[in-house]
Amino acid sequence: MESSISHLPRYHHIQILIHWLSALLIIFIIVLPLSRNFWAPLFGGISQVFMLHKSLSVIVFMMTIVRIVVNIKLGVPEVLPANAHLLRLAANSTQKLLYLLLLMLPISGFLMGAKGINFFNIWLIPAMDLSSETMAIAHTSHIWGAYIMIALILLHAVAALFHHYIKKDNVLNSMRMRREG
């Protein structure tokens, strides 16, 4: 069964690995502050919950830069039919917006705080000396951006599952891990 889809367009292994690793990290990064009181006793207090939120975001930020470079170098497969113009536009816009937020959220998070980022308690990235107005703008953008990202991720995942289980096409398979080369 698997060999029958091997000729269809797929993302490169590196792109697939980065996609699913970032997705896992992003879900954890979002869940941490939203249920901070649940995680606090597990990680040693609210400050440690935010230490993880921020440290993991630094990793996602760097992975996103690598991902953009990889996409430019390797290209991105066209998994939707060439005549599905509206669908392509919707998928591309969602993905571009997700990229924007993957970069914007760590930056706004960094700019809104006065304490900097204590990267896994081993390295302090010092905060910038910004006015309280700038920090307030960054804070508002962070919260709005986070909720827009949650909505987009839900839309994106529902669309992927719709393609796979209802339309039964190649969209989800193009992003699936497979053993053979």
Chain residues that interact with ligand HEM, rule: CB under 6 A: 15, 19, 22-23, 26-27, 29-30, 33-34, 50, 53-54, 57, 60, 71, 76, 79-80, 91, 95, 98-99, 105-106, 109-110, 113, 117, 142-143, 146, 149, 153, 156-157, 160-161, 171-172, 174-175
Shortest distance in whole angstroms from residue 19 CB to ligand HEM: 4
Position of minimal CB gap to ligand HEM? 109
As beta bridge partners, residue 117 has 125
Phi, psi of 119 (to 5 degrees): -65, 105
DSSP-based three-state secondary structure for 33 = helix
Shortest distance in whole angstroms from residue 76 CB to ligand HEM: 6
Residue placing its CB nearer to ligand HEM in the complex, 39 or 54: 54
Shortest distance in whole angstroms from residue 57 CB to ligand HEM: 4
DSSP-based three-state secondary structure for 77 = coil
Residue placing its CB nearer to ligand HEM in the complex, 95 or 181: 95
Residue placing its CB nearer to ligand HEM in the complex, 26 or 39: 26
Q: How far apart are the C-alpha atoms of 148 and 62, rounded to whole Å?
A: 21
CA 148-19-24 angle, to 5 degrees, is 70
CA 83-89-91 angle, to 5 degrees, is 105
Shortest distance in whole angstroms from residue 61 CB to ligand HEM: 7
Residue placing its CB nearer to ligand HEM in the complex, 44 or 143: 143
Burial of residue 144 (CB within 10 Å: 0-12, 13-18, 19+) is exposed
Residue placing its CB nearer to ligand HEM in the complex, 44 or 89: 89
Cα four-point dihedral sign 154, 70, 10, 6: negative
Residue placing its CB nearer to ligand HEM in the complex, 44 or 144: 144
Q: Which amino acid makes up residue 175?
A: M
Shortest distance in whole angstroms from residue 53 CB to ligand HEM: 5
Asked if residues 101 and 147 have their Cβ atoms less than 8 Å apart, the reply is no
